[in-house]
Amino acid sequence: MISGSLFLCFLLVALAVANDVGLNYFPHVDAATWESKYGPYPFKTYRSSNVTSPAVRKAVDSPQCYDDNHIFLSPRGFRVPNPAVTILDNHGHLIWSHHVKGQAYNLKVQEYKGEKVLTYWVGDDAVGGHGEGYFYVLNSKYQEIARIRGVNNLRADLHELTITPDGTALVTFYQIYPLHHPGLFRITDTVYIWDCLFQEFDIASQKLIFEWRASEHHELNESYALMGTDGLSLDHPYDWYHINSVQKDDLGNYLVSARFTSTITYIDGRTGDIIWVLGGKRNSFSDLSNGQATNMQYQHLARFVPLTTFPSLMANEIADHGKHTRKDGFTKQLLTLFDNGIPPRPARGLVLELTYPNQGVSTNAPLTAKLVKAYEHPLHIDSVSQGSLQIVHSNLTQHSDPHVLLGFGWQGTWTEYLADGTLLCDSRIVVEKGLQSPGKGYVQSYSVLKYPWKATPYYPPVAVPSSDKTSVFVSWNGATDVFAWQLSILINEQWQPHRKALKDDFETELYLPTDLGRDLVRYVLVEALDENGKVLGKTEVVDLWARGLVSRITQMAPLGSGFGSWVGLVVVLAVVAFIADRVIKSRRSGRAYQKLRRH
């Protein structure tokens, strides 16, 4: 009975939380319908594939966001039944989805051994806001070519994997670590912390190049995380630092962002010593913007970029300092980050200008930080965790400043801006109710990033007949270059091309001829054509006379379809029976009823 009730609850929840928008969904579906009809996470299903994809609502849209990049995200969250790494095109149409066992984070395009690769993290993120798992590296056929964890068998944390031009990896790690710290607790001199490390190592040989441990360089009292009784025992380590990004610069030094100290720390790449700290309790910088350049909280993805990244926005500074980052003993460059903020302060994307003396130059001149631009979501939402800021170069921005793209992490939305702060686009995969402060985390994506990506999968496209066998549905999960589909029919033992259709979404329906007679049309196949008509791949032969299931959808059948309403009816009946059962029992026992109500 208990497992039966649990199962029913599960089914109920599964049906209530997420909803299929159907096959005819279009991203510009009217907002009221999108917001109210499909649950907190509207998603799409397909006939020819069992993957699902978020149904994107474009609350603000502009042709200036439709560039030669694709969009890379990893939808997960309380209302996402099946986490996946996902690539969308600019229209929000699915290009690739890969459901994972566990949680998915941090989908990026990087370069490894001279080729463009996809990298993403999969693992267990239930260990307290960080993760234990692996980074996967896939080539442009979607074959796994590497699986990355740390040197000394450390399991990779989810926050950072950067592959450097030298073929090394920068990865973050979390480790339970005892610190000798008398005076913190009365009964013991030891405090157990979640210590944070990063390593740089050669991916192929696993040779360690550099390792840095936060507790050797930062003090526990720099943390803003409440300690309570955390740290007293091994089972409840104190999560004091929470490293979340690492970048290596051209001098071989490292830039590290940490959540719970709200600091961005610049680290000597030979000694590990701290060169300076931006933000937090140990800030080294004078703030030229009334505190707005050093007050980041819980920030993510800190990256140095040169002034020349924004030739127009930074024109005066470039004229003044020149095109090089270091001049006359001083470094001047930009730092970009996603500042999560703490409500009521909304999340912001920040571009800061930093000026500081070069290493080894002795001077009394202050280190200075200046706010260049802050970018907010049009709803001024906060984001308790995760998030990304990316500078987007595309074919639309070549002769002007690049765009700025924010992914709101905990909140399933991303926004794109002109460098001057003008909002261009606001795309959402969660309803507005879920975004209101404090954000609900219904649909999250660690980051939302844009890259050019060209891929042809190692597996073939898939075609399945419609249930009445008057058409076939075809898709090719991950293929970026399909322009059109060509249906061919086997007639008199000859393959005869029949109908061509342009690919306009992840899945395309091709109608079968009506004039040939059903007896003749038994075997069909579909070829994928590129823009020049070249065949990129073809499906297996589909036997239209075959019996059995025609749909590959094995999960989350759309509500409102025959199956959905049938399940719905069963669930409703079962729930009525369940409640009746409880009510009858509760009449017998008042306590049981109280319990049910409290639940």
Ligand X SMILES: *[C@@H]1O[C@H](CO)[C@@H](O)[C@H](O)[C@H]1NC(C)=O
Contact window for ligand X (CB under 6 A) among 62-70, 311-319, 355-363, 414-422: 62-70
Residue 181 contacts ligand X per CB under 6 A? no
438 preceded by a cis bond (ω within 30 of 0): yes
Residue 395 contacts ligand X per CB under 6 A? yes
Instruction: Please tell me the distance from the alpha carbon of residue 596 to that of residue 599, in angstroms, as a whole number.
Output: 5
Select 395 or 514, whichever has its Cβ closest to ligand X.
395
Select 50 or 385, whichever has its Cβ closest to ligand X.
50
Which amino acid, one-letter code, is at 433? K
β-pair partners for 326:
331
Applying CB under 6 A, what is the total number of residues that bind ligand X? 13
**10 Å Cβ neighbour count for 98?**
20
Residue 219 contacts ligand X per CB under 6 A? yes
Q: How many Å from the N-terminal Cα to the C-terminal Cα in the chain?
A: 18
Report the residue from 99, 116, 213, 393 that binds ligand X according to the rule CB under 6 A. 99
Report the residue from 221, 400, 467, 496 that binds ligand X according to the rule CB under 6 A. 221
DSSP summary character for residue 76: B
Token pair recorded at residue 440: 């609900």
Report the residue from 554, 584, 588, 598 that binds ligand X according to the rule CB under 6 A. 554
Of 363, 328, 335, 362, the closest CA to residue 349 belongs to: 335
| Measured torsion, CA atoms of residues 210, 211, 214, 218, in degrees rounded to the nearest 10 | -40
Of 129, 416, 131, 429, the closest CA to residue 298 belongs to: 129
Report the residue from 181, 217, 281, 469 that binds ligand X according to the rule CB under 6 A. 281
Please say whether the dihedral angle defined by the alpha carbons of residues 473, 479, 484 and 490, taken in this order, is positive or negative.
negative
Instruction: Please tell me the distance from the alpha carbon of residue 442 to that of residue 446, in angstroms, as a whole number.
Output: 13
Q: What are phi and psi of 355, to 5 degrees?
A: -130, 125
DSSP summary character for residue 156: B
Nearest approach in angstroms of CB 200 to ligand X is 29
Residue 400 contacts ligand X per CB under 6 A? no
| Measured torsion, CA atoms of residues 333, 338, 342, 344, in degrees rounded to the nearest 10 | 90
Select 50 or 390, whichever has its Cβ closest to ligand X.
50
Nearest approach in angstroms of CB 179 to ligand X is 12
Nearest approach in angstroms of CB 254 to ligand X is 23
Select 82 or 586, whichever has its Cβ closest to ligand X.
82
Evaluate whether 571 touches 11 at the Cβ level (below 8 Å).
yes
Contact window for ligand X (CB under 6 A) among 100-108, 127-135, 217-225, 350-358: 217-225
Nearest approach in angstroms of CB 252 to ligand X is 29
Report the residue from 33, 36, 363, 555 that binds ligand X according to the rule CB under 6 A. 555
Contact window for ligand X (CB under 6 A) among 153-161, 214-222, 258-266, 515-523: 214-222
Evaluate whether 270 touches 312 at the Cβ level (below 8 Å).
no
Select 67 or 160, whichever has its Cβ closest to ligand X.
67
Select 33 or 400, whichever has its Cβ closest to ligand X.
400
Report the residue from 18, 54, 56, 67 that binds ligand X according to the rule CB under 6 A. 67
Report the residue from 30, 68, 115, 124 that binds ligand X according to the rule CB under 6 A. 68
Strand pairing class (367-375; 285-287): parallel
Instruction: Please tell me the distance from the alpha carbon of residue 362 to that of residue 329, in angstroms, as a whole number.
Output: 9
Contact window for ligand X (CB under 6 A) among 216-224, 227-235, 292-300, 585-593: 216-224
Of 460, 475, 459, 470, the closest CA to residue 47 belongs to: 475
Residue 166 contacts ligand X per CB under 6 A? no
Instruction: Please tell me the distance from the alpha carbon of residue 476 to that of residue 453, in angstroms, as a whole number.
Output: 15
Residue 36 contacts ligand X per CB under 6 A? no
Please say whether the dihedral angle defined by the alpha carbons of residues 408, 411, 417 and 422, taken in this order, is positive or negative.
negative
Select 432 or 481, whichever has its Cβ closest to ligand X.
481
Residue 50 contacts ligand X per CB under 6 A? yes
Contact window for ligand X (CB under 6 A) among 60-68, 343-351, 466-474, 540-548: 60-68
Select 82 or 470, whichever has its Cβ closest to ligand X.
82
**10 Å Cβ neighbour count for 272?**
14
Nearest approach in angstroms of CB 389 to ligand X is 22
Nearest approach in angstroms of CB 264 to ligand X is 17
Q: Return residues touching ligand X (CB under 6 A).
A: 50, 66-68, 99, 219, 221-222, 281, 395-396, 554-555
